[in-house]
């Protein structure tokens, strides 16, 4: 069984979309894959409740308990590696995980560490993507699923979804429209990866 570990920091709506898609699409039967664990760096992350209700193992690893980014990432890797094996490499999905990961961590899971970003990369890497798109006068915005590399928000693109920027849009209204597409795009991209790995 291929184990999928999802990292979250908050509400976990993309994580929930992936879990629902895995159940609906019977990933265990078709690809030998399951969402094995959800890990958060915040104990009050609402997404943990959803995952737990689905019978998924949940873990909390508070980054504030560690003296450095490197120490936290090493502890996080130890947690993830409980679900990793040479025969069945774990797939690690970042779903609103609000941490910049160290190069050592990224290299450890190279080719199987995936993120979703709320812009059409390479445009608007980093934060405040929706406001920046509006201020730049963009007519379209969107979301990108990509493999994670050491350079922030610049890994190989797996999938993108485009949404219009409407007159009168605010960062919040645009974010809400993009999020509905993220919930479709991320599971589709993961399905594509699982098909390649099968």
Q: Is 146 a catalytic residue?
A: no
- Please give the full DSSP string across the chain, using - where no structure is assigned: -EEEEEEESS--HHHHHHHHHHHHTTHHHHHSEEEEEEEESSTT-THHHHHHHTT-EEEE--GGGSSSHHHHHHHHHHHHGGG--SSSPPEEEESS---PPPHHHHHHTTTSEEEEESS-TTTT-SS-HHHHHHHTT-SEEEEEEEE--SSTT-SPEEEEEEEEPPTT--HHHHHHHHHHHHHHHHHHHHHHHHHHH-
Looking at 30, 63, 117, 154, which residue is catalytic? 117
Residues with catalytic roles: 117
């Amino acid at each position: 069984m291929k184990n999928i570990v999802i990292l979250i920091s908050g509400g976990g709506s993309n994580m929930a979309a992936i879990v629902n898609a895995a159940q609906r699409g019977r990933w265990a039967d078709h690809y030998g894959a399951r969402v094995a664990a959800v890990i958060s760096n915040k104990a009050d992350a609402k997404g943990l409740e959803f995952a737990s209700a689905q019978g998924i193992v949940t873990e909390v690893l508070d980054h504030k308990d560690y003296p450095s980014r490197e120490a936290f990432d090493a502890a996080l890797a130890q947690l993830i590696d409980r679900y990793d094996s040479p025969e069945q490499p774990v797939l690690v999905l970042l779903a609103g995980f609000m941490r910049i990961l160290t190069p050592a961590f990224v290299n450890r899971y190279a080719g199987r560490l995936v993120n979703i970003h709320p812009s059409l990369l390479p445009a608007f890497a980093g934060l405040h993507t929706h406001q920046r798109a509006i201020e730049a006068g963009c007519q379209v915005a969107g979301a990108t699923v990509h493999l994670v590399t050491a350079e922030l928000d610049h890994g190989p693109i797996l999938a993108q979804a485009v949404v219009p920027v409407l007159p009168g849009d605010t960062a919040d209204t645009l974010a809400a429209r993009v999020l509905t597409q993220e919930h479709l795009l991320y599971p589709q991209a993961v399905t594509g990866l699982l098909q390649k790995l099968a």
